[in-house]
């Protein structure tokens, strides 16, 4: 979940590292640091390190104006071992100061390695697991930096993305990956490395993705890849079909603007982009060539299992419901973080769907690897081209949401829903969905972008509701069947950015316990679509109101709430299968404005980071 950058070439490394860290700050923002090699005079002998607790801007202020060097590494941290302090910030050095290391991941045997180093007389200066890497590399007597790093990695257990510089080898960076992403960027007589494309695309779109267990050496002239036994691997760079300008534009904010606000308002355009070229009116179906499945293989599917974490899990529940309803095949969603550990039965006629914005979510990636290890077929719904999950899957659907910087997912989540709708449509039409129903859903999908814009036009009204909700310490979100995952996602968003306790329940479950907590101090946000369950949902609202519980109802204009005194947010109606995403959009605005009313940073909520690459 931390951000790593590195550079070797003819330019001064310091400014490039600082800029790269600023672009990766959504991956971790409790501390940051850089180490540079290659200055003049005495400064050339060892890496010079500057690191600070706090944001990247605090690091920028601490870096001296004269900080020369053409080889360097940098890191922005999301704490796993030890609090956010200057001492715990990366890079970490060995006792001599010759070695500097940055690391993303968790070393499972760090405690044992720390104890061993302490017994050998090494003085540890931080609480981190990463520091042991620097000391072990520094103590190695191998002839090359590559051999020293490989020797160290053979004794550590856990996940890592690592970048290392050494005073004795001032022309290179050695990097290694095991479960935590690292991407090499190939420039003109210069090389870059980063844990996220956002730090690279300004300089190059020619990249090489390291695989687990792989290492690489970067010099100004190029890169080589190899295994831990130093035997060569054949990793080659590829040129990604992405628009660097999109990344550049996403990083620039106007005065008072937040990434989350902008990304919410981009959703009409990003949803339209996800649909472009994928709808077939003639046959009432979707074109998803990336699935790599012919109709015979689709018909052989007997079950669909969706795997995701956080918001991806909740939209996966929406997607599973869509697939079951349209394709008439059993479908369910499960938290990827739990899936692997229960020794799941992998069935040959089950289609597994992995959902991830970043394509690097470690729990989801490990679940995909477990499925493939046992012979299952897995496809991905992924936003980032060339990411680890995208490469591991048998096929998939790119979301085309564009770069998403805010930690709380909004436009990527909406495009996940669109991706599920397209998948359900294609599966359904191969099976039992009529061409008339296929065309009905295509018409609904085409209306979605304009209807999302209609919801966003109500922002001022939603903001007023959000300010009142922000005063509550605890809230309920309720919904039923299609509305329940919407409620779960709404509670998640509010928790993420406003730090208010929010709990989602099925509306039908209120009487089975949660109703005891309803009071004037506990508002309820209810999802009430106009569907076959409207009357029952409205009856539940009356039960809440009878106990003097404040109500906010996200619904459709034709729903009669029976004279209840509630704060009401109406959204446009679409086809009932597609309504959940329109009911979700105002909940994004509620969370955003509640957090802003409380004076909080909506883009970088406390304790969280954008890409969860550690278990």
Question: Which pLDDT tens digit goes with each residue over 18-35?
Answer: 999 988 887 778 899 999
| Model confidence, pTM | 0.86
- For 466-531, give the DSSP string: HHHHTT-SEEEEEE-TTHHHHHHHHHHHHHHHH--EEEEEEGGGGGGTGGGG-BTTB-EEEEE-SS
Per DSSP, the three-state class of 381 is strand
- Read off the pLDDT of each residue in 403-410 and give the average, rounded to a whole number: 91
Going by their DSSP bridges, the two strands 350-356 and 303-308 should be labelled as: parallel
User: Is residue 44 predicted with pLDDT exceeding 60?
Assistant: no
Backbone Cα Rg of the chain = 25
User: Is residue 151 predicted with pLDDT exceeding 90?
Assistant: yes
User: Is residue 42 predicted with pLDDT exceeding 50?
Assistant: no
Least confident of 45-49, 70-74, 434-438, 485-489: 45-49
Determine whether 493 is an active site residue. Answer: no
pLDDT of residue 43: 46
The Cα–Cα gap between 436 and 431 comes to 14
The Cα–Cα gap between 30 and 582 comes to 35
Q: Both ends of the chain: CA-CA distance in Å?
A: 10
Mean pLDDT score of the chain, rounded to an integer? 91
Strand partners, 206: 239
pLDDT tens-digit series, residues 549-593: 899 999 999 999 988 889 999 999 999 999 999 999 999 999 999
- 3-state helix, strand, coil split of the chain in percent (to 5) is 40, 25, 40
Going by their DSSP bridges, the two strands 31-37 and 48-53 should be labelled as: antiparallel
**Secondary structure (H, E, C), 553-583:** EEEECCCCCCCCCCEEEEECCCCCCCHHHHH
pLDDT tens-digit series, residues 295-349: 899 999 999 999 999 999 999 999 999 999 999 999 999 999 999 888 899 999 9
Among the listed residues 2, 70, 305, 495, the single catalytic one is 2
pLDDT of residue 256: 73
The Cα–Cα gap between 407 and 610 comes to 4
Among the listed residues 51, 305, 495, 610, the single catalytic one is 610
The Cα–Cα gap between 376 and 391 comes to 15
Residues counted in the chain: 615
The Cα–Cα gap between 393 and 292 comes to 10
Write down all domains in the chain, each with its CATH number in brackets: 3-248 (3.60.20.10), 257-456 (3.40.50.10490), 459-597 (3.40.50.10490)
Determine whether 393 is an active site residue. Answer: no
- Residue 7 · residue 71 · CB < 8 Å: yes
User: Among 32, 164, 192, which Cα is nearest to 102's?
Assistant: 164
418 — pLDDT class (breaks 50, 70, 90): very high
The Cα–Cα gap between 109 and 126 comes to 16
């Amino acid at each position: 979940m931390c951000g790593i950058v590195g550079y070797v070439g003819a330019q001064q490394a310091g400014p490039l590292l600082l800029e790269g860290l600023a672009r990766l700050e959504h991956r971790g923002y409790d501390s940051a640091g850089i180490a540079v090699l290659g200055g003049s005079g005495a400064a050339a002998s060892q890496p010079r390190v500057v690191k600070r607790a706090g944001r990247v801007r605090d690091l920028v202020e601490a870096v001296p104006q004269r900080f020369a060097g053409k080889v360097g590494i940098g890191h922005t941290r999301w704490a796993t071992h030890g609090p956010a302090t200057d001492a715990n910030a990366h890079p970490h050095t060995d006792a001599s100061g010759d070695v500097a290391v940055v690391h993303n991941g968790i070393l499972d045997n760090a405690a044992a390695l720390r104890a061993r180093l302490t017994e050998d007389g090494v003085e540890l200066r931080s609480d981190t697991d990463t520091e042991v890497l620097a000391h072990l590399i520094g103590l190695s007597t191998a002839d090359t930096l590559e051999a020293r790093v490989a020797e160290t990695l053979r004794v550590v257990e856990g996940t890592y993305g690592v970048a290392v510089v050494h005073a004795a080898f001032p022309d290179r960076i050695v990097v290694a990956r095991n479960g935590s992403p690292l991407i090499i960027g190939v420039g003109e007589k210069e090389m870059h490395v980063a844990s996220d494309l956002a730090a690279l695309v300004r300089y190059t779109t020619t990249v090489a993705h390291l695989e687990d267990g792989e290492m690489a050496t970067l010099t100004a002239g190029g890169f080589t890849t190899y295994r831990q036994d130093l035997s060569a691997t054949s990793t080659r760079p590829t040129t990604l079909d992405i628009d660097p300008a999109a990344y550049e534009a996403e990083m620039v904010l106007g005065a008072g603007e937040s990434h989350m606000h902008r990304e919410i308002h981009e959703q009409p355009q990003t949803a339209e982009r996800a649909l472009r070229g994928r709808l077939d009116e003639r046959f009432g179906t979707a074109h998803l060539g990336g699935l790599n499945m012919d109709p015979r293989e689709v018909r052989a599917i007997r079950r669909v299992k969706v795997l995701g974490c956080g918001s991806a899990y909740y939209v996966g529940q929406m997607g599973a419901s869509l697939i079951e309803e349209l394709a008439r095949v059993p479908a369910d969603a499960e938290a990827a973080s739990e899936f692997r550990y229960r020794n799941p039965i992998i069935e040959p006629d089950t289609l597994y769907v992995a959902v991830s914005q970043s394509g690097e979510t470690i729990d989801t990636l490990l679940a995909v690897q477990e499925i493939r290890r046992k012979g299952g077929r897995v496809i991905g719904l992924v936003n980032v081209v060339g990411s680890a999950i995208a490469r591991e899957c048998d096929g998939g659907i790119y979301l085309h949401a564009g770069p998403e910087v805010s930690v709380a997912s909004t436009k990527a989540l909406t495009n996940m829903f669109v991706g599920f709708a397209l998948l359900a449509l294609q599966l359904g039409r191969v099976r039992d969905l009529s061409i008339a129903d296929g065309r009905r859903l295509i018409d609904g999908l085409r209306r979605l972008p304009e209807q999302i814009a209609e919801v966003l036009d109500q922002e001022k009204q939603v903001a007023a509701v959000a300010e009142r909700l922000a005063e509550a310490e605890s809230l309920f979100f309720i919904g039923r069947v299609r509305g329940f995952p919407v409620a779960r996602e709404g509670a998640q968003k509010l928790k993420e950015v406003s730090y208010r306790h929010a709990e989602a329940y099925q509306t039908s479950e209120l009487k089975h316990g949660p109703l005891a907590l309803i009071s004037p101090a506990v508002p309820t946000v209810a999802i009430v679509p106009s569907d076959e369950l409207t009357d029952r949902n409205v009856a539940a609202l009356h039960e809440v109101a009878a106990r003097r519980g404040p109500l906010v109802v996200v619904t459709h204009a034709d729903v009669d709430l029976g004279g209840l005194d509630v704060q009401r947010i109406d959204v446009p109606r679409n086809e009932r299968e597609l309504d959940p995403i329109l009911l979700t959009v105002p909940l994004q605005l509620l969370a955003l404005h509640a957090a802003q009313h409380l004076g909080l940073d909506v883009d970088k909520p406390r304790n969280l980071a954008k890409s969860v690459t550690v278990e």
